[in-house]
Amino acid sequence: MTRTYLQLPINADEGFPQAFRLSFLGNSYQITLYVNALEGEQPLPDDYLYHLPAPDAYLVMTVQREEPTGNVVILRRKLVCNLEIEAAELAFLFRTITVAKRNLNGIGSYGSTIIGGIAAR
């Protein structure tokens, strides 16, 4: 099945972790993104770009549906480029996941780019 994806409002320059609220299909969702990166024995240069997922780093997305009784987690997983992910009534697809080292707990324009979309399942 071919789905039409709408771009998620991710602003990689705001750094990671990052969270935003999204209204879609008549529901409200809380989406959280964070990078898990192991520190190696040799420090990486400040201008290093993580092309995720990598053997030592990955991006995790958590999606919670807001419900009258409280938020319900419908997805928590590592993201992989060009792999469609289905969660309840939603589908997600990420085309580019590049995070600058300086955007780990930092704000600024350092070359981070995350392009991901959401669609109805």
pLDDT of residue 42: 86
**pLDDT tens digits for range 58-92:** 999 999 999 999 999 999 999 999 999 999 999 99
Please report, rounded to a whole number, the percentage of residues in the chain having pLDDT higher than 90: 93
DSSP letter string, the chain: ---PPEEP---GGG-BSEEEEEEETTEEEEEEEEEEE---SSPPPTT-EEESSBTTEEEEEEEEEEETTEEEEEEEEE--TT--EEETTEEEEEEEEEEEGGGBT--S-SS-EEEEEEEE-
Per the prediction, the chain carries an average pLDDT of 96
pLDDT of residue 116: 98
**pLDDT tens digits for range 102-111:** 999 999 999 9
